[in-house]
Amino acid sequence: MFAVSHLVGFGVRVPVLTGYGSDVTSGATVTALLGSYTNLSNLVDDNTANAVSHNDTTIPAKLKVALTATKQVEQIKLTSSSGNPQRMPTTLKLYGSATGSFAGEEATLLNQSGITWAGSQETKTYQFTNATTYQYYAIECTVSQSGSKFEPAELEMMEGVYD
């Protein structure tokens, strides 16, 4: 017997979001779309002690994450580095793309402003609605807390789990 909330129309069952899966960034490749970067693999190395290195002051800065397969990401966790929480975004965007071009075909999945970062290796979690499976995502620091750098230590991306 399904809950009433699962039923619409003539008994068509609509999946209900019940939670989020495990991180899907294993094996992902990270490249810079905006900004000059080194150590980009540190974004997804499962170690919050190692951050990416932003070698110029380009803001907005944008990093592309190429997953190993298409995923319907609906949650991200972003962690600040050791000692530089000011190099994190106060305005953050996440985009999804089927092709990885990020030349205008991408969809904006998350646009979060008013973020504040106070601590080292501080993790913030964001959820959003995404009905599409994408292989390519881009995370953008639209406004940096310091005004000049975007140096996250770790990014995790999770799919929604539906029942």
Question: Interface residues with Ca ion (CB under 5 A)?
Answer: 23, 25, 42, 45-47, 50, 153-154
Shortest CB 9 distance to Ca ion, Å: 40
Contacts of 5 (CB under 8 A, 6+ apart): 16
Closer CB to Ca ion, residue 79 or residue 97?
79
Using alpha carbons only, give the angle 15, 21, 25 rounded to the nearest 5 degrees.
Answer: 130
Shortest CB 63 distance to Ca ion, Å: 12
Shortest CB 118 distance to Ca ion, Å: 19
Report the candidate in 150, 161, 157 with the shortest Cα–Cα distance to residue 57: 150
Closer CB to Ca ion, residue 67 or residue 138?
67
Q: Which two tokens stand for residue 152?
A: 């996250």
Please check whether residue 149 is in contact with residue 83, taking contact to mean a CB–CB distance below 8 angstroms: no
Shortest CB 18 distance to Ca ion, Å: 22
Give kind and range of the element (H or E) at residue 1: none
Closer CB to Ca ion, residue 45 or residue 159?
45
Q: Which two tokens stand for residue 130?
A: 């995404």
Exposed / middle / buried, residue 70 (Cβ in 10 Å: 0-12, 13-18, 19+): middle
Closer CB to Ca ion, residue 26 or residue 111?
26
Shortest CB 121 distance to Ca ion, Å: 10
Closer CB to Ca ion, residue 138 or residue 153?
153
Q: Which residue has the tokens 């997953």?
A: 67
